Structure formats: C-alpha cells, structure tokens
Amino acid sequence: MKDKINMQVNFLGKNLISPTVLASGILGNNFDILQRVHASGCGLVTMKSIGPTPRDGHNNPTVIDLGHGMINAVGLPSPGYLHMEKEWADLNNRDFPIVASIYGASVDEFQQVADYVSDKKPDFIELNISCPNSEKHGMLFGTSPTASFDVVNAVKKVVKTTPLIAKLTPQALDIGEIAKACEDGGADAICAINTLGPGMLIDIESRTPILDFKKGGLSGPMIRPVAVRCVYDIFKATRLPIIGLGGITTGADAIEMIMAGATLAGVGSAVTYRGISVFKKITREMDQWLKDHGCTLEDIRGAAH
C-alpha cells in the first residue's frame, strides 16, 4: 500500500489539495470536465480565457504535436463574457477553486470583462496580458512595464476582493521588471510563462506554412528552461507568489520550478502526454522526492537562489 500523500498548500488564503494548477486554455469551461480535473488531483483549475466579444479563433490546423512540445495558434476563441450564463450557473455549484482567465485588446476591455466576471465569484482572476494592445498598435501588454502596470491597476480599481494573477509573456526583455510593474499595479500573484515564440512550421512539399494562421506559440518540455529562468528572475524582482508554468511534465520538473521560486506548478501540455491523471502523478512524484530528501516544499522554495 502506498503512503498517503498530503501535499496541501495555501495560495493567497485558499487551501489547495495539491500544488498543481491546470493552465488556461487546455480543457475549456465545462463544469463536468473541470470537476474531473480537480478530482484527478489538480489543486487549482484555470478556465479557458474569456474575452470581451464572441471570437471563433483561427481555422484548423491550429495545434501540431512536435514530440518535444507543441506549436499552436488556437486564437483565443471565446463566446464573449456576456454569453456564458450556463457555464457560470453550473460552476456556481462547484466544490473546487477556479481561476477565471480574461483578456482584452485595451485597458477598458480588460476592466469591463473583469468587473463582470468578478460578480460571478471565481476564486481568482487571471489577466492574460500576453495579448496585443490595440491602443499601442499590436504591442503585447506584457512587454511594457507601463502597459502592464496600467492594465493591472485599472482592473484593481473595479475588482476589490477577488485576487488578481498577472500572466506574463516570455517575450518581455526583462520579465522581472514586468512582474514588479504588475506588483506595483496591485497584482496579488504572477503566472509565468505563456507560450514562447511565435514560431513557424513549413511543409516543404507544398511550400506553405502548416498552421492556418502561419505562426504559433510554443509549449511543452522544450520551453521549460525558459520558464524556469523567467520564474527565477521574477522571484528576485518581487515578493509575489508565482505559478510556474511551462513544460512541467513530471514531479522532478515541478520541483525544479519550485526551486526557481514558484509556489505552484502549472500543467498544460502534459495533460496530452500523460492524461488527465497527470496532476495526481506529478503530485505523487513530488511527494516521493521530498520524502527521499527529507524536506518540504517550503524548504526548497527559491532554493536555487
């Protein structure tokens, strides 16, 4: 009989059954599937990003498995925040914590969506500031300290009680500076990183890009070293708790991310590689490593510093 696992962790005042987090955009917003994820050992479940207006996303093909990771150009499909009443009604009966991920093309859109979504009582709101800012001619919010501060600060003014998590892009020249700007703007935590890139694949027989959108973001094991470095830099720059995300597939990967400074370990592509039970598998592997080394998560958090 295997030893009983107790890997509970407190995150911004919320007790979680494990230090694992489902990344946004992996399994949608359906109550049944999100409940299954939590029942499979996931400590914190992130919904698919919610936008200001209905959006279909890009045409297929949108996701390509490269073996050592994935490239995707899904295109942030969303029914729009005003067209999710059934999903919210179902989630109102949940017994597990959720993160509502939101995006917008302007500060006003972020503020508008956040104000509405906060009334639905998610446990946390994640600001996906890795999307283009239409007011700045397509510049990503998350590549500018000023833009990052502005969007977090604007949302903080309308969302008084729901903790805010800023999700950062690895495209920032100094991700520590971006994280500090988010902290100054009122963020309660940081999630890093979003997909890396953009990258491109070309079919050499047809001489055309494989993805319909041509370019896409990279995820999975191949980006983990970048994610670890980003979390390491963020830990040095702020006092905020960090959800370390990017290429975590095993318990050893999660331990590495914790040593870089993360509080929680985000899981995305690994759901494809190891199934929905990946959360329980990673948690058990983390627990075994900690027992083998006679330490706790608190002992190793930021240990690489």
Cβ neighbours of residue 15 closer than 8 Å, sequence gap 6 or more: 8, 9
The answer to whether residues 130 and 151 touch, using CB atoms and an 8 Å cutoff, is no
Strand runs labelled E in 144-295: 164-168, 189-192, 196-200, 202-203, 208-209, 215-219, 242-245, 264-267
* CA–CA separation, 212 and 58 (whole Å): 7
CB count, 10 Å around CB of 140?
Answer: 19
Q: How far is CA 228 from CA 59, 261, 304, in A?
A: 32, 9, 11
Q: How far is CA 229 from CA 144, 193, 258, in A?
A: 19, 10, 12
Q: Does 193 sit behind a cis peptide bond, omega within 30 degrees of 0 on the bond before it?
A: yes
Catalytic residues, by residue number, are 131
Q: Structure tokens of 25?
A: 């955009």
